[in-house]
Amino acid sequence: MKYDTITPINLEGESSVKTYKVAIMGATGAVGQQMKVQLEKRNFPAGEILFLASSRSAGQEIEFKGKTYIVQEAVPESFEGVDIALFSAGGSISEKFAPEAVKRGAVVIDNTSAFRMDPEVPLVVPEVNKKDMRLHNGIISNPNCSTIQMVCALQPLKEQFGLSKVVVSTYQAVSGAGIGAINELKDQAADFDNAKQADASVLPVKSADKHYPIAFNAIPQIDVFADNGYTLEEMKMINETKKIMHDDKLSVAATCVRLPVVTGHSESVYVELEGAPSVEEVKQAIAEAAGVELMDDPSQQLYPMPLMAEGLDEVFVGRIRQDPDNPQGFHLWVVSDNLVKGAALNSVQIAESLIEEKIV
């Protein structure tokens, strides 16, 4: 189904409609820029807007709906009068400033991992668990990019057939690691003959001891390692999926891999359902799901690919097929733009849902 869970609110000709003071914290980053784009594109009722960043980025100019704004250095007082604050400036910035924004009456929609697993903080993908927003104490977390697109595809299967197990392997784009990672891929890709000796200083993790070339390679490490041998990215997929879907018994097994793709995460998702529907029934469930688009016709070589998903809103699902060895087992290939639905769009949708549900 085309992306339409939360119809963008259209203010034209509705002069009496309430507007909101919105702040974007981390306005100059890859996700912050995309947040601005989504607010404009969806005509969000932002009566006032504030672009905030660290002192390093303060002073930059940002165009929004034909007007030029100057990026301000964030201080606690910046959030006075703000109704909705979209945060995407790193976990430590969220830890420092989100409570300050909440203290001043804002609802914070936080795109970092800082509060995601806090039992007091709702972790929301509107298509899946919009109702959880009602329990917020000022902060609502936006899940990790790789989790968001997966749960959009899993939710209709859970609702219609029951879901017992998920085994996911990801194919993740470098833009999730920021603009520095994109530039590094670009430089490395231009020197095909020296791929093994390419300079690398960003991936897999900027602060890590070792860096590896990403061009013509696949790196099975995203984020740092936990003590159990999993990366934090893998643990996010496991824990966030259970929290969002309200199912601690759901078995989630995840391997996360970084690829030489600029933008657009792909996921090979194997599910075990409680029922044993036909492939057609599974395709139908996906086709009807909010925010998800079925793209699946092998006879036409039609399936989603990251290069084609860039800049689009939907979660695309294809390659749906039944396990010949297990009638309850199905494969899905799930692709979405990690900066759009995986980050900025989901945050703006949470903001729209807050208005729709009269929470702000």
Q: Which residues are catalytic?
A: 145, 265
Site string for its own copies, 274-313 (x = CB under 8 A): -----x------------------xxxx-xxxxxx-x---
Site string for its own copies, 147-186 (x = CB under 8 A): --------------------x-x-x-------------xx
Q: Can you tell me which of 4, 14, 63, 323 binds its own copies, judged by CB under 8 A?
A: 323
- Please name which of 266, 286, 275 lies closest in space to residue 329, comparing C-alpha atoms: 275
CB atoms under 10 Å from CB of 174, counted, come to: 26
Residue 172 or 347: the one with the smaller Cβ distance to its own copies is 172
List all residues 6 or more positions away from 128 whose beta carbon is below 8 Å from its beta carbon: 151, 152, 155, 244, 245
195 near its own copies, judged by CB under 8 A: yes
Given a contact cutoff of 8 angstroms between Cβ atoms, the answer to whether 202 and 181 are in contact is yes
342 SS3 class = helix
316 near its own copies, judged by CB under 8 A: no
Q: Can you tell me which of 215, 237, 273, 285 binds its own copies, judged by CB under 8 A?
A: 215
Stretch that binds its own copies, among 18-26, 47-55, 94-102, 191-199 (CB under 8 A): 191-199
Given a contact cutoff of 8 angstroms between Cβ atoms, the answer to whether 7 and 291 are in contact is no
64 near its own copies, judged by CB under 8 A: no
Residues in the chain: 360
**Helices then strands (H, E): number in the chain?**
9, 14
Stretch that binds its own copies, among 41-49, 67-75, 95-103, 253-261 (CB under 8 A): 253-261
Given a contact cutoff of 8 angstroms between Cβ atoms, the answer to whether 319 and 333 are in contact is yes
Number of residues counted as binding its own copies (CB under 8 A): 64
- Please name which of 154, 162, 87, 141 lies closest in space to residue 315, comparing C-alpha atoms: 154
Minimum CB distance to its own copies, residue 15 (Å): 41
Task: Using CB atoms within 10 Å of the CB of residue 55, give its burial: 0 to 12 exposed, 13 to 18 middle, 19+ buried.
Answer: exposed
Binding residue per annotation — 155?
Answer: no
Residues making contact with its own copies (CB under 8 A): 167, 169, 171, 185-186, 189-190, 192, 195-196, 204, 208-210, 212-213, 215-221, 225, 228-230, 238, 251-253, 255, 257, 259-262, 266, 268, 270, 279, 298-301, 303-308, 310, 318-326, 329, 331, 333
